[in-house]
Amino acid sequence: MIFGNIENLNEYTYLDENIKKCFEYAKNNDLLSYDKGCHKIDGDNLFVNIVEYETTKKEDRFWEAHRNYLDLHLMLDGCEQIDLNFIENMSQKEFVEKDDFLPLEGDENSHVILNNGDFLICYPHDGHKTAIKVDKSSKIKKAIFKIIISK
């Protein structure tokens, strides 16, 4: 996983070209004005899901990981905590191929707090639990770029 802020992208020159495309897309498009839903950038190879939701207690959220896509979470408006652990430290359930969804059970070994402009890149071994309130429940708007890593 990689945690950072878009103001410091010059520190991430080593990132894969498709990840850099996401940041370029965010720079050239007003994602905050996008409607909720899926917006294609390069067909099924690269797209962005715009989500809006209310953060909540961690007990009300679920663990997940992905095998076919990287997730790049970019906070557009608001603040949320994302709990993290490596999938090898967790109980892995049955992978749902059509949704690229690996359900997990276990505890966090770390977490990040995303504020406006912060991003988190989750690789296949990075279990994550999103939408956790920081101090109190609040509405957030976030872009989740999905970057293909296998076909």
Residues 13-68 pLDDT 10s: 999 999 999 999 999 999 999 999 999 999 999 999 999 999 999 999 999 999 99
- Does domain 2-148 fall under CATH 3.40.50.300? My reply is no
Which pLDDT does position 129 carry in this prediction? 98
User: How far is residue 61's CA from residue 51's CA, in Å, rounded to a whole number?
Assistant: 15
Q: How far apart are CA 45 and CA 141, in angstroms?
A: 23
Q: Average of pLDDT values for 85-103?
A: 97
**Residue 122: what pLDDT?**
98
Q: What's the pLDDT at 126?
A: 98
Q: At a CB cut-off of 8 Å and minimum separation 6, what does 93 contact? A: 102, 103, 104, 105
Provide the pLDDT for residue 82.
98
Using pLDDT thresholds of 50, 70 and 90, give the confidence band for residue 70: very high
Question: If you average pLDDT over residues 117-128, what whole number do you get?
Answer: 98
Q: Looking at residue 37, what is its pLDDT?
A: 98
pLDDT of 149 reads 92
**Which pLDDT value is given to residue 150?**
65
- The pLDDT, as a whole number, for residue 151 is 53
Instruction: Please state the pTM of the whole predicted model.
Output: 0.96
Mean pLDDT, range 91-97, rounded to an integer: 97
Around 121, how many Cα atoms within 13 Å sit in the side-chain half-sphere? 17
